[in-house]
Structure 1
């Protein structure tokens, strides 16, 4: 059975989708594979995202802000991580993938003290990690092949969960 490809998608592809990509790939042990992209990529990975991932023990090698126009493969699942509730426009992936939304506030837009900004990155990471850990409890490959509507329902449920 093919390893399911998951695309984490947001606008800039510098923070949230990068955090999700590295976290899923680090935790999935090859059962799933994640990539990330943006509709309007920032062109860089936010240094706070890199530092946080390294502190958590995840590889940051090869992480890059990239456009969804440059994807090497067609994803099986697309998860948008933009915070549409905060007035952010979520990109709409038009390919033949199962879609879900896991809105997370953009830590790159955080303001305040160093501690407050760092806390925004930590919060985004904790939410994404919690959701990824829930995703990894599902038989994703099996449901993708046999019951995609059940998988979509579970992905949406997970998208509303918080640690």
Structure 2
């Protein structure tokens, strides 16, 4: 981390990169404009963004275009952004062996239930997406409000873990 005028690069990781990590990417880019560049990736990307993730973003009046399901391999390439923060948003991704990320980013696990795994009527599925979005939105608000440039590494790590338990 550098100065208070820094723009921080953040990567949200989930196994499929079709729902939770996409929602988190969109939310941080919207809520943290000018302070954060958010990205998302998956260890085993589905290859497409879940339509209800995009519908949820539209419901929240956030941009819902331009997202794609992609592998975390894109972010270890030489021309990839160097990340300041990496968050896993699903339990499967948290347990996987991640690539070695340049720059030693601060990481935390912010696990949330997978709304794409909910079966049943579309109304029930959409409700699950909205609940996941609510949880992620609150965590991202808390993260974006932290005085990042004034926190030492241990305090920052502790704050990020606490946010993941909210």
Question: Structure 1 length as normaliser, TM-score?
Answer: 0.88
Q: What per-residue deviation string (whole Å, max 9, x for no partner) do you get for residues 106-146 of structure 1? A: 11110122221111111110000010011111012x04xx6
Aligned Cα root-mean-square deviation (Å): 1.4
* Residue number in structure 1 paired with 2:58: 54
Alignment of 1:20-35 (within 5 A): 20-35=24-39
Flag the 1:89–1:69 CA change in 2: closer, same or farther, 3 A: closer
How far 1:89 moved relative to its partner?
5.0
Moved over 4 A (4+): none
Q: What per-residue deviation string (whole Å, max 9, x for no partner) do you get for residues 55-83 of structure 1? A: 2111123211111111221211100000x
Alignment of 1:1-163 (within 5 A): 1=3, 2-71=6-75, 72-82=80-90, 84=91, 88-90=92-94, 91-93=96-98, 94-95=100-101, 96-140=104-148, 142-143=149-150, 147-161=152-166
Structure 2 runs not aligned, ≥5 long: none
Structure 1 runs not aligned, ≥5 long: none
Question: Structure 2 length as normaliser, TM-score?
Answer: 0.87
Task: Determine the C-alpha separation between the residues in 2 that align with 1:153 and 1:54.
Answer: 33
